Amino acid sequence: MTDGSEGTGVLQHAIARVQLNKAGLPATTLQLGSTELDNPNAFQTHRVQGSAQTDYDLAPLLSFTHIKRFNVRALYSLSQSETDQNGTYAYGDRVRLMRFEGKLSPTVTESINALFRSRDVGRQTDVDGPYWRSIYHWELQSGAQSTIIPGLVPKLNYNVLYDDCRLQGGCAGSGGPVTTTGTGTSNFWSNTGVAGSAVTPPGPPGAASLQGPSRTVTGSIGGSLGIYPGQWWPKLSPLAFLPSVAVGDSESTNVNVQQQNDNVYDFVGTEVWAGRKLELMLYQRYRYTLTGQSGQENASMTVLQNRIVYRPIFTSPFTLLLNYEGDRLLNDLGLDPTAAPWAETQTHQDMLEWLMRWSQVFTTRTRLKFGLEHTTGTFVMDAETQAPHDANHSKYSYGGELQLRIYPLADVSALYIYVSTEWKQWDQRGDDPYTAWEFIPTCGVIWRLGDKLYLDGHVYYDQTQCLSGSTCTTNYKLSPYVYFTMNL
As to burial, measured by CB atoms within 10 angstroms (0-12 exposed, 13-18 middle, 19+ buried), residue 398 is middle
Nearest 10 degrees: Cα torsion 188, 189, 193, 195: 30
- Please give the Cα distance from 155 to 267 (Å, whole number): 15
Give mean pLDDT, residues 392-404: 95
pLDDT at 240: 96
Q: Is residue 423 part of a domain?
A: yes
Do the beta carbons of residue 137 and residue 107 sit within 8 Å? no
Q: How far apart are the first and last CA of the chain?
A: 33
* Assigned domain for 435 exists: yes
Q: Rounded to a whole number, what is the largest CA-CA distance in the chain?
A: 75
Residue 164: inside a domain? no
- Spell out the residues 6+ positions from residue 102 whose beta carbon is closer than 8 angstroms to its own: 70, 71, 72, 73, 113, 114
Give the Cβ contact number of residue 100 at 10 Å. Answer: 15
Is the CA virtual torsion 414, 419, 425, 428 positive or negative?
Answer: positive
Q: At 183, is the pLDDT very low, low, confident or very high (cuts 50, 70, 90)?
A: very low
Other CB atoms closer than 10 Å to residue 411's CB: what's the count?
9
**Alpha carbons 56 and 74: distance in angstroms, whole number:** 9
- Average pLDDT estimate for 302-331: 95
Pick from 203-207, 302-306, 370-374, 456-460: least confident? 203-207
Distance CA 412, CA 136 (A): 45
Q: pLDDT tier at 6 (50, 70, 90 boundaries)? A: low
Q: What is the pTM of this model?
A: 0.77
R_g of the chain, CA atoms, integer Å: 26
pLDDT of residue 302: 96
| Under 8 Å between Cβ of 120 and 131 | no
pLDDT for res 172 = 53
Specify the pLDDT at position 470: 86
**384: in domain:** yes
Closest by Cα among 214, 237, 241, 215 to 227: 241
195 vs 364, more confident: 364
**Where does the pLDDT of residue 208 fall: very low under 50, low under 70, confident under 90, or very high at 90 and above?**
low
Q: Is residue 319 part of a domain?
A: no
**Of 383, 306, 379, 311, the residue nearest 345 (C-alpha):** 379
Which band of pLDDT confidence, cut at 50, 70 and 90, is reported for residue 38? confident
Q: Look up residue 73 and give its DSSP letter.
A: E
Q: Tell me the percentage of the chain whose pLDDT exceeds 70.
A: 88
Sequence-ordered strand ranges (E) for 86-208: 88-105, 110-124, 131-146, 152-167, 177-181, 184-187
Confirm if 462 and 480 have CB atoms less than 8 A apart.
no
Structurally, the chain folds into a number of domains equal to 1
What is the residue range of 432's domain? 345-488
The 10 Å CB-count burial string (b at 16+, else e) for 143-167 is bbbebeeeeebebebebbbbbbbbb
Residue 382 covered by a domain:
yes
Indicate the pLDDT class of residue 159, thresholds 50, 70 and 90.
Answer: very high
In the 8-state DSSP scheme, what is residue 199? -
Rounded CA-CA distance 230/276 in Å is: 15
* Phi/psi of residue 108, nearest 5 degrees: -70, -30
Task: Please give the Cα distance from 403 to 483 (Å, whole number).
Answer: 21
Does residue 471 lie in a domain region? yes
Give the integer Cα–Cα distance in Å for 205 and 42: 8
Please give the Cα distance from 414 to 408 (Å, whole number).
9
- Does 375 map to a domain? yes
Contact 464, 475 (CB under 8 A): yes
Tell me if residue 245 falls in helix, strand or coil. strand
Measuring CA to CA, which residue among 234, 247, 192 is closest to residue 35? 192
**Nearest CA among 483, 411, 484, 486 for reference residue 451:** 486
